[in-house]
A and B are shown apart, each in its own frame.
Chain A
């Protein structure tokens, strides 16, 4: 299995709370991604990064923010959680030259906002 880790795996929080989902990889990959996936549904890219100090928004509009201060670390933050943010968040990483290479996924973080 790939060396990419997400914490927490499961979280239930109240509306209006601030939450940070952590993601770390030990493969030295330049590119990192955050996908949002509702149960049994397709993946939507919400953020990605080409490397340190690089962050880009994905296809799906998201109220979350990300940072990339270190190569191995790509946290996602929700400043004020809402029930509509309830979903699974998947972190992933790849080499810079994605074509021909695979994306490695973390185990996911299940977020429930009540």
Chain B
């Protein structure tokens, strides 16, 4: 079974600082995709960043970057220069072949002024 684990239910960070959210997954597949989604309070869930397992290079999107360790099955999200608007639930997700996306339990991030 494919599982996604987010071991940090809640985290907080001071504005302008850097924070890292952890995600591990379990799969026997060799080719798959990993995602981080952001769900602001009472707002639409949106894609933050995506990583293809066969690519060695870590994905980056502006202030968001990932540390993808395929052997360790780890996929952490780093948010640099945190902003108040980054306050949200963050979900790690996994998909392989054409199967459904599996989500972790989420990490609630609060950015403090």
Contacts and interface: CB of A to CB of B under 8 A. Distances in A.
Given A42-B106, A43-B91, A98 B100 contact: yes
A103 B44 contact: no
Contacts of A42: 91, 103-106
A40 B44 CA distance: 14
A58 B100 contact: yes
Contacts of A102: 35, 47, 50
Contact of A40 (B43, B52, B103, B108): B108
Contacts of B97: 99
Contacts of A1: 44, 46
How many of chain A's residues touch chain B, expressed as a range?
A: 20 to 34
Given A40-B106, A98-B99, A100-B52, A105 B45 contact: yes
- Give chain B's interface secondary structure class: strand
Contact of B33 (A41, A45, A58, A99): A99
Interface string A26-60: 00000001000000111101001000000000100
- Give chain A's interface secondary structure class: loop
Contact of A45 (B37, B45, B100): B100
Given A99-B32, A102-B50, A107-B43, A41 B105 contact: yes
Given A42-B105, A99-B33, A48 B100 contact: yes
Contacts of B101: 98, 103
A40 B89 contact: yes
Contacts of B35: 102
B47 A96 contact: no
A99 B44 contact: no
A97 B43 contact: no
Contacts of B104: 42
B95 interface: yes
Contacts of A45: 100
Closest 3 CB pairs of A and B: A42-B105, A105-B45, A43-B103
10 contacts: A1-B46, A40-B108, A42-B105, A43-B91, A45-B100, A48-B100, A99-B96, A99-B98, A102-B50, A105-B37
